[in-house]
Amino acid sequence: MTSSERCIAVVGGGITGLAAAHRLRTSSSARVVLIEPADRLGGKLRTERVDGFVVDSGPEALAPGRPDAAKLAEELGVEMVTSAPGGPGAVKVGRRLREMPDGIGGFIPRKIKPLATTRLFSPLGKVRMAFETVAPVRRDDADESLESFTSRRLGKQAYERLVEPVASGIFCGDPARLSLLATMPHLRRAELEHGGLVRAVLAERRAAKQEKRAGAPPRRPGMASPTTGMGGIVDAVVARLEADDAVEIRLGTAAVGLERDGGRYRVELSDGTAVMADGVILAAPTAASAAVLDRLGAHEAAALLSAMEVASTATVSLGFRADGMPDLDALLPAHGYLIAGPGRGPVCGVTRSSSKFPGRAPEGHELFRVTVRAPDSTPSDELLELARAELAATLGIRSEPVLSLVQRWNGVMPQYAVGHLERVAELEKALQPWPGVVVAGSGTHGLGIPDCVASAERAAAALAG
């Protein structure tokens, strides 16, 4: 590399760092150095293939409605598959599974009859939800918690039996403390723009009819995943980067320091080497990025990042022979279920992965994924027993698994407390004295894979010139 060549250092090899490195190379001539302390790239996107099973131990699908990650997959030529037809999901209330009413997407009820006949809510709870159309609109700009918003618009039971288990499963946190604007901003937009959730649905239907009359293609329904598992996106990005002579990938070394060196930045690495860069994208977990910023002298930005809470979760994947199993289609009309509180234990939800996407289990086998939240010190054997006990109690599966994998994600799930977006704005302002240093990823701009890709695209655009 000559001294005249522009170089961007990307710290963190998860999906945010990978997408940022890819976009930098497609939108600029800058060289890229990708730095990752682990011995593999991909972060929480991890697919393992064992004895015919395809196991996603991190995110397992791309949710509809956010195109950023799907567009990246299409650009990379990744073959995708949509989830198999099935029920809208189920919630375990007490000891019983209650199927979610059809037509509830993003917590917005879109169909009246399924809502009226569902056993998930009591008659009184349904009456309270019906009053959503006349609930007053809050017009101020203040943030609030997911619990506050959904309770005042849909009622307490809708929160406890639908919003709380779903949001807890997605964000691995307490919706009573999670920011509405940072996690589910579409709900607030529906209230402000249309006067409520039901009115937003009616407006959406009118727009869909207009699109149909105009000949627009129908919107793609359902979740999607690469045919080879979510790791397929990682494999495709890495293959592009490894084939590019202007990209250097450094595995097994961490960024431990950052300092100005004239008009550039010197990134110090744990292996004793350093990288000279014209710009730096920090796409690492919040604690690691905060430590780097502190070394740079950006103490206010570092303190803001350090103050952002994180949580832990674990996934337990269990494979079984299908012979002698209970009738799962009768017991579980959907592809899985979530568990409602109060009284919920460490297990938050169960997915029947072998019915959700094709090819996840070999012929004659079933694959389950159990999400568990327990203290970081909980032994893996105990996590495995918690998962097996849940499958036995709810689905009657008591046979010995032929596959068992435990994947722990300790301290890597950001918790967006009320006011999170204001703190992100403060962070970006605090970084203004250090042009060319950008923080990206799930710690600031969204937990989902599409959010991470969108964050990476913005960071790359900011430094591409």
Domains and CATH numbers, the chain: 7-43+228-309+415-464 (3.50.50.60), 99-213 (1.10.3110.10), 315-412 (3.90.660.20)
Per-residue confidence band for 119, with pLDDT thresholds at 50, 70 and 90: confident
Among residues 460, 450, 438, which one has the least CA distance to residue 23? Answer: 460
Length of the chain: 465
The C-alpha atoms of residue 294 and residue 258 are separated, in whole angstroms, by 8
- For β-strands 7-11 and 96-99, DSSP reports them as unpaired
Where do we find the tokens 């919706």? 175
Q: Within its chain, how far is the Cα of 450 from the centroid?
A: 8
Is 215 a residue whose pLDDT tops 90?
no
Is 232 a residue whose pLDDT tops 50?
yes
3-class SS of residue 313: strand
Per-residue confidence band for 1, with pLDDT thresholds at 50, 70 and 90: very low
Q: What is the pLDDT of residue 3?
A: 43
Lowest pLDDT segment from 28-42, 62-76, 371-385: 62-76
Instruction: Determine the average pLDDT of the residues in 294-313.
Output: 95
Task: Return the percent helix, strand and coil in the chain, to nearest 5.
Answer: 40, 25, 35
Residues 6 or more apart whose CB falls under 8 angstroms from that of 206 comprise: none
Residues 6 or more apart whose CB falls under 8 angstroms from that of 237 comprise: 18, 19, 21, 22, 72, 76
Per-residue confidence band for 214, with pLDDT thresholds at 50, 70 and 90: confident
Is 9 a residue whose pLDDT tops 60?
yes
Instruction: Determine the average pLDDT of the residues in 211-217.
Output: 71
Per-residue confidence band for 48, with pLDDT thresholds at 50, 70 and 90: very high
What is the DSSP code (8-state) at residue 88? S
The C-alpha atoms of residue 424 and residue 304 are separated, in whole angstroms, by 8
Is 465 a residue whose pLDDT tops 80?
no
Is 358 a residue whose pLDDT tops 50?
yes
% of the chain beyond a pLDDT of 70: 95
Residue type, 85: P
Lowest pLDDT segment from 195-199, 204-208, 297-301, 457-461: 204-208
pTM: 0.91
Q: Which two tokens stand for residue 275?
A: 């990288």
pLDDT for 152-174, tens place per residue? 999 999 999 988 998 888 888 89
Is 231 a residue whose pLDDT tops 90?
yes
pLDDT for 67-77, tens place per residue? 899 999 999 99
Mean residue pLDDT of the chain comes to: 91
Phi-psi region of 115 (alpha: psi -120 to 50; beta: other; left: phi over 0): alpha
Instruction: Determine the average pLDDT of the residues in 93-109.
Output: 78
What is the DSSP code (8-state) at residue 14? B
- For β-strands 96-99 and 255-261, DSSP reports them as unpaired
The string of DSSP codes covering 319-361 is: EEESTT---HHHH-SSSEEEE-SSS--SEEEEEEHHHHSTTSS
Strands (E), 158-300: 224-226, 247-251, 255-261, 264-269, 274-277, 279-282
Per-residue confidence band for 287, with pLDDT thresholds at 50, 70 and 90: very high
The C-alpha atoms of residue 199 and residue 193 are separated, in whole angstroms, by 9
Helices and strands (H, E) in the chain, number of each type: 19, 21
Cβ contact 368:353 at 8 Å: yes
Lowest pLDDT segment from 28-37, 260-269, 443-452: 443-452
pLDDT for 195-206, tens place per residue? 998 888 888 778
Q: What is the pLDDT of residue 202?
A: 84
Instruction: Determine the average pLDDT of the residues in 398-418.
Output: 94
How many Cα atoms occupy the beta-carbon half-sphere of 148 within 13 Å?
13
pLDDT for 238-271, tens place per residue? 999 999 999 999 999 999 999 999 889 999 999 9
3-class SS of residue 44: coil
Instruction: Determine the average pLDDT of the residues in 132-155.
Output: 94
Is 340 a residue whose pLDDT tops 50?
yes
Q: What is the pLDDT of residue 2?
A: 43
Q: Within its chain, how far is the Cα of 272 from the centroid?
A: 34
Is 221 a residue whose pLDDT tops 60?
no
Phi-psi region of 364 (alpha: psi -120 to 50; beta: other; left: phi over 0): left
Q: Give the DSSP H/E element, type plus range, for residue 316.
A: strand 310-321
